[in-house]
Each structure stands twice: as C-alpha cells, then as structure tokens.
Amino acid sequence: MTTTSTITGSRMPALLELGQSVWLDYLRRGMLRSGELAELIAAGLRGMTSNPTIFEAAIGGSTDYDDVLAREAGSSRSDADVFEAIAVEDVRAAADLFRPVYAHSNGADGFVSLEVSPGVALDTAGTIAEAERLWAAVDRPNVMIKIPGTREGWPAIERCLTNGININITLLFSVEYYRKVAEAYLAALEARESKGEPLDRLASVASFFVSRVDTEVDARLARIGEPGAQELAGAIGVANARLAYATFEEITGSGRWRRLAAKGAKLQRPLWASTGTKNPAYSDVLYLDELIGRDTVNTVPPETLRKFEDHGTVAPTLAGHEADARKRMEHLARLGVDFNDVTRVLETEGIEKFAKSYASLIGTIREKREALRKGGASAR
C-alpha cells in the first residue's frame, strides 16, 4: 500500500502554524525501508500510531514480513511472541526516523505509539505489566504505549505515567472519561514532583474518537424519525470533540496546571482519532477541517491524509464553539438519545474490534508460518 504520493505544498506545516500536529494512523515495514516515511516527515508529519488492526493489515496484506516469518517458521516461539517482536522492531525503527522531530520540538512531538494487548483492556495489573514490558523492549524516549481509557485503565495510566512511561490514552468517547485521564496525568506529574523526578520529558496524549460517534448516533437518529432529528446527523462527533477541547482549555487554564507547567511539565494534548469519514454523504475531510486548533494532534489514516493534502481547508475551527456544541448535545438528549449509552456501547465495541483484529492477526501469522514451514515460497 502506498501511503501518499510525493507531497508538494503540504498542508501539514500550515496546520503546525495553527498549533496542530498531524500523526499518521498507519505503520508498515515497507514504508520504513523505502524512504516513504522519511519523505512524509520531511513534508511535515510529526508522529505515528499503530494498533492491532493496523498490524493485521500490514502483515496480512503485504509480503513485507515474509522474510521474518520464514526465519520464524520452524522456531518454538509462539505466534504472539513473533508478532510482538515484529511490532517492537517496527516501532523502534519508526521512532528512530522521528527522533530528529522529537529533538527539534524539545520532546513535544515525534512520537510513535504501540498498544498493549486488547486482552488486558479491563485488567489493571495486566495493563501495567504489559506497558512496562513493551516500554522496556522498545527502549526509545519518543515512544508512547497505548492504554485504553477504560475505568480499569485509569489507575494503570496514572501508575505508568508516574513511573516515567509516555502514554497514549486511547478509546476515549466521553468528556467525563477524558476528565478522568486528564486527572490521572496531573496526579502522575505531582507524584513525580514529590519524589524529585523530572517532569519535562514525560509525554501523554488523550485520544478522543470522533467518526465512530457519528456512526452510532446517526443510526439512533434514523430510528427516531422525528422532525429535526436528521439535522444532528454527522454533527455530534465534532460537537463532542469540541466540548472535550473546551474541557482541555479549562484544565490548562487552572492554577494547578500552571504550577506544573512552571516546573517543565508538557501539555497532555487532545488527539483526534478515528478521523476517516465513514459516511460517504459527509465531507471526506470533515474530521480534519472541523477540528483544527492549538495544542492538538490529529492522527490520520493514509487515504484521509492524501485527501486533506488535496482539498482540505486550513483554518482554526476548534475553539470558540463550546456553546453551539452544548446546544447540539442538549438537542440530542431532548430527542431521547442517551449519549452516556452511546459512549458505553462504543467503548465496548472498540475493545471487541481490537480483540478481533488481534486474534485475526495472530491467525494470519500462524498461517503464514505454517505455509513457509511447508516450503511455500510466499505465504501471501
């Protein structure tokens, strides 16, 4: 898969001027070797994220990993261990390519994310143990370990941050849960300060999912069938994200935060995730155009990035819309849509989707190893 063609006149530097970093929601070994990732970094890309679904597509949909799987065909290592070795190697190599960005931004950007197994999403102790192990295995300062922002994840996030592990908090859908993980970050910074440990190189982002909100809400609105219901279609994902950003501004305007910032603490930036448009009736760059604001990250699928580079609009669109966003959420409630239930369903589905992708990924590795063990020239 080619991520983008050669980028000329990239919009990414213009977004950076407005305070927003673009990270790529994709990772494949071929792009590390071909120079494609280096080209994107030169064009303004500031980071990269991965997850089981991304690795499933990369390993199952290319021959990039067949040499590794051929070497492992007869080994005694489990398929899960083989995957972890692949993921650690790819994330480490990508982090090395982003290291100049990390250095030039004084540790504010240039991160690559690696996710804990979906199997520990509801297991606090298991999440902590896996995050610590992956952090040590990758051994790069510009890596983030992804931990789901579930209730079980909150104490794991705080513990790992306190111990100096950079954390990308994923699968956030509600402002309520965003406040919890923001509190976990502040508490971790304060714990480090109390122990005399440095604050200036600890990094975290809070990944707020957007398009999945519209997918779920739109389906509920369609079932209502009342006049006025459809005017909210395709609008709640952005409204919810804008309320999260207003909360971020509130937190970073507090005396508590300003005191930590004076000690060198870095912002825990909101990161807009799930920003590929799923409904063809909407703009294919909707979740980029409408969520541009200072001190944020947008993690973008390759095809969406290509479209934004072609016809996206660079303008500040995030701040100053809190009142309108709140009115939309109130209208949604009057129509009988329980947004708390929406976020509960989305979190459950998100964990299930990643678990399914992980199981499929391990199955793909097993099949390729078996085919190569039997002498197949290529298992694709």
Q: Tell me: the pLDDT tens digits for 157-180?
A: 999 999 999 999 999 999 999 999
pLDDT of residue 94: 98
Say if residue 46's pLDDT is above 90: yes
pLDDT of residue 9: 60
CA distances in angstroms from 200 to 158, 181, 221, 266, 301, listed in the order given:
17, 19, 45, 6, 30
For the chain, how many helices (H) and strands (E)?
A: 16, 8
User: Are the beta carbons of 40 and 341 closer than 8 angstroms?
Assistant: no
- Token pair of 167 as six digits: 């954390």
pLDDT of residue 8: 47
Strand partners, 170: 148
| Nearest-10 Cα torsion for 356, 357, 360, 364 | -170
pLDDT of residue 147: 97
pLDDT of residue 376: 54
DSSP-assigned letters across all residues of 87-141: HHHHHHHHHHHHHHHHHHTTTSS-EEEEEPPGGGTT-HHHHHHHHHHHHHHH--T
- CATH number assigned to the domain covering 12-373: 3.20.20.70
Say if residue 266's pLDDT is above 60: yes
Per annotation, catalytic residue among 146, 180, 266, 307: 146
- The whole-chain average pLDDT of the chain stands at 94
Average pLDDT over residues 77-94: 96
Q: Is 259 left (phi over 0), alpha (psi -120 to 50) or beta?
A: alpha
SS3 165: coil
Q: pLDDT (tens digit, 9 = 90+) per residue, 336-349? A: 999 999 999 999 99
Residue 373 pLDDT grade (very low, low, confident, very high; cuts 50, 70, 90): confident
Say if residue 152's pLDDT is above 70: yes
Q: What percent of the chain has pLDDT over 90?
A: 88
Average pLDDT over residues 30-53: 96
CA distances in angstroms from 60 to 74, 117, 361, listed in the order given:
19, 18, 7
Residue 379 pLDDT grade (very low, low, confident, very high; cuts 50, 70, 90): very low
CA distance 103 to 141: 10
Angle CA(290)–CA(19)–CA(262) in degrees, nearest 5?
130
Strand partners, 213: none
In which residue are the tokens 């199997």 written?
119
pTM of the shown model: 0.94
353 as an active site residue: the answer is no
| C-alpha closest to that of 187 among 149, 143, 155 | 155
Say if residue 11's pLDDT is above 50: yes
Average pLDDT over residues 252-260: 98
Please give the sequence-ordered ranges of beta strands (E in DSSP) within the chain, or none if there are none: 20-25, 47-49, 111-115, 143-148, 167-172, 204-209, 269-273, 296-300
CA distance 19 to 46: 12
CA distance 108 to 103: 9
Residue 21 pLDDT grade (very low, low, confident, very high; cuts 50, 70, 90): very high
